[in-house]
Structure 1
């Protein structure tokens, strides 16, 4: 009963957010409360590491809000204190509905067959990268479970899954990282991010293939073979998002468009089988898949509360005059990027470092693009190497690999990718 109620609340939060985007008089706190109540119901089911991180984030956020109000007599909009990252959570819930397209259960692996050698490993990286750019973490299980039909996953397979999906953070508008960054830096230029992020992601794939070919014998390592059909859905989704963003609803952000578009496409694809079939699938999704998102939802909501508290406290303590850097250029961006990556290696999710950094900066439009790039790059590097990132926690829980071992295996890759990202920062700073 507890899980069913939580799933219903998460679905309610998504519906309320879509109604807000449609212009109906729904207040944002109503959306936030629905998500937070779901987290409270699902709290006992969170992994210990997730509970610890979420508790610290929320506790520090509330403490800072109280300190700002009591110590500095700041006016705190308490009714909105839970609203941080609500837009991102709604987007993540919306993206999950894409799993209802095409298969009865909604989680069957995409088409493709296993091949071996470098071609197979390249196919695994590219498959999880392209599909993960739309479907996020669920792609790890879709492709990973298919590969496991040939035996327990080997280290090269696990690394290809890890690196392929983490690199999608560099450019995908559907990825959680982009949702967070677009919320924190609403004036960022996505076209500029795409122009740098996509080549960097391709470099990450090339680097991964060279590294795995050098360190492992891939001749008998099963991989995933892409087919044109498996690429059809990502292409269609990307085209639809761009159509709405530049044509039909240019006043809405990409985060907002994804929030209503993907559930809408999922419903339309099921309606030909009848309303009863569609409602049954939505009900099953709400009761099974949505409660399983408890780790992601709790982390993003608590990180949003931390950002609210930190920005309010800093503003109250300094009279809104203090910021971490007087000027945010290449040196400052590089230092921030390396700091977030270091915190990820130490066990913090990159969203924490990104949120804290955003609360201590006051950036103009073009500087927001620079901030967005280092945040996305830190997310891509940090989630690949961080032992407690959602990607590595998923691999640990599903396939039994040690998070510490994954960190060690990825240190060299992360160092090279970080170097490329630093070069990208220098190029972008000169460009801007």
Structure 2
């Protein structure tokens, strides 16, 4: 049985599902600027999480509770010891935009299965070719659609049974490695803000070959470690690519034409539910309303694992960033010059902090706040940030991809970390070589 199959419905869960849907609608309304309460999205999602808290698996509940507790303690310390001004009404806003996107993506389940019956799985691509297909499909489509692609591909693979470790690693590494070069990733958005004078052509020239190396390393390593004979992969056939490619094309139309002011994540948040409604409306308003209602009271409460983990991790990030910003508010710079040695040390530190449980965005943001970069230094910093994000999110137990895999498919995030340690070590060596080459060729 799939890990995210919803339990029997109770009124408390139905109410929580309605609140999650309300949070999604509030997030979509925020794009228009007509939401009367700034923090409405966070309040809806956190209240739903509180209602669903007792239904969480004990491991998820302990982890989420610990994340939230540490975040709150750090906020209190930042205000009491460091004198920071904490925006207490807004502390629940962390990661709400990501959660809203995940909720929006869940509506893909209402597309292409209008009779409510699962389609026969058909013949699967297996072995090393299957792993390569999974990695390549997630990497190419994920470079545009981000985390939503993992669910699109993962749910398709799960129709044949619970996902195996090689399948999960293919999903994990296919997405995380796209951070090395994709201009549509959240990592690139953060880096462009911190290093606006970076040269993207240089980033692409080094990042894309590294991403291809990550794919070859994944296929080779998993072929040696596991018997892949019966491991199904994602087939890059026209039929299997029809929905993801059409989604990606529509996202690009909105991003470059209709709503260029919105980020890719924002577009996905409202576009996926919108396309689901359009796919169901030909069968009538009553049919569409019934399907949306059923989705809200059954499927959305079943997302309690990923929602709670993301929200609590967001609260931890708010606490950490607030405390660190308050503690490091000074005029000194970490390095007089940001060269290859400093870049390699920074990369290693950020990846190590990711293994310890911090999201790479924390290390990247803290590093940027302690540097004074020229144009050349900004490009090198950007590469370090993107590479540490790509490697750190693959191995970090609290990264978005691993939290999603844990919440969606029941896999242990720390287990994913252990499975990726060898991969992260090999990628670290390649990144360090790339840093040296970048300095020599610049």
TM over 0.5, shorter chain: yes
Partner of 1:311: 321
Q: 2:361 — aligned with what?
A: 354
Please report how far the alpha carbon of residue 232 of structure 1 lies from its aligned counterpart in structure 2 after TM superposition: 2.2
**Structure 1 position 255, deviation (Å):** 2.4
| Correspondence for 1:138 | 151
Deviates more, 1:188-197 or 1:416-425: 188-197
Contact 1:28 1:83 (C-alpha < 8 Å) held by counterparts: no
**8 A contact 2:191–2:385 mirrored in 1:** no
Structure 1 counterpart of 2:68: 58
Which of the residues 27, 31, 35 maps onto 2:37? 27
What is the CA-CA distance between 1:12 and the residue it aligns to? 0.6
Partner of residue 290, structure 1: 300
Tell me the residue number matched to 1:260. 270
Counterpart contact for 1:167–1:380, Cα < 8 Å: yes
Measured after TM superposition, the shift of residue 168 of structure 1 is: 4.8
Contact persistence 2:303–2:408 (CA under 8 A): no
Distance, in Å, in 2 between the alignment partners of 1:326 and 1:106 is 62
Instruction: Write the distance in 2 (CA, Å) between the matches of 1:312 and 1:187.
Output: 17
For the structure 1 residues 71 and 90, does the alpha-carbon distance in structure 2 shift closer, same or farther, using more than 3 Å as the test?
A: same
| Structural mapping, 1:174-213, within 5 Å | 178-179=185-186, 182=189, 186=193, 197-213=207-223
**With structure 2 as the length reference, what TM-score do the two structures score?**
0.77
Q: Which residue of 1 aligns with 2:4?
A: none
Q: Secondary structure at 2:282's aligned position in 1?
A: helix
| Alignment of structure 1 residues 65-214 onto 2, 5 Å | 65-104=75-114, 108=118, 113-130=123-140, 134=145, 135-139=148-152, 141-148=154-161, 156-157=166-167, 159-168=169-178, 170=180, 178-179=185-186, 182=189, 186=193, 197-214=207-224
Q: CA separation in 2, counterparts of 1:273 and 1:84? A: 38
Tell me: CA distance 1:213–1:12, structure 2 relative to 1, closer, same or farther (3 Å).
Answer: same
What CA deviation, in whole Å up to 9, does each residue of 1:362-411 have, x standing for no partner? Answer: 27897888666555544543454456767667778998988777655543
Q: Distance in 2 between matches of 1:380 and 1:3?
A: 36
Unaligned ranges ≥5, structure 1: none
Moved more, 239-248 or 384-393: 384-393
Distance 1:294 1:302 in 2: 12
Deviation at 1:267, TM superposition (A): 1.6
Q: Structure 1's 345 and 101: CA in aligned 2 closer, same or farther, altered over 3 A?
A: same
Measure the CA separation in 2 of the matches of 1:324 and 1:64.
23
SS in 1 for 2:92: coil
Correspondence 1:275 to 2:282? no
Number of aligned positions between the proteins: 423
2:425 matches 1:418: no
Is the CA contact 1:144–1:161 (under 8 Å) kept in the aligned structure 2?
no
Cα 1:24–1:390 change in 2 (3 A) is closer
1:126-181, Cα deviation, whole Å (9 max, x unpaired): 34545666434434642433444xxx87665554455445445556688xxx4477
Aligned mates of 1:396, 1:84 — CA distance in 2: 19
So what's the TM-score if we normalise by structure 1?
A: 0.78
Separation (CA, whole Å) in 1 of partners of 2:423 and 2:71: 34
CA change 1:68–1:415 in 2 (3 A) is: closer
Task: Describe the superposition over 1:176-197 as per-residue Cα deviations: whole angstroms up to 9, x where unpaired.
Answer: xx44774686467796666655
SS at match of 1:76: coil
The 10-residue stretch of structure 1 (77-86 or 383-392) with the greater mean CA deviation from structure 2: 383-392
Q: 1:158 to 1:38 in 2, by over 3 A?
A: closer
Rounded to whole Å, the distance in 2 between the matches of 1:14 and 1:429 is 45
- Name which of structure 1's ranges 294-303 and 273-282 shifts more when overlaid on structure 2: 294-303
Output the CA distance in 2 between the equivalents of 1:408 and 1:319. Answer: 35
Is contact 2:121-2:160 (8 Å) kept? no
Mapped contact 1:58–1:306 kept (Cα < 8 A): yes
Matched, 1:16 2:23: no
Post-superposition offset of 1:270: 1.8
**Pair 300,212 (structure 1): closer, same or farther in 2 beyond 3 Å:** closer
Could you tell me whether the CA contact under 8 Å between 1:315 and 1:321 is conserved in 2?
no
Larger displacement relative to structure 2 (107-116 or 21-30): 107-116
* 1:13–1:31 contact (8 Å) kept in structure 2: yes
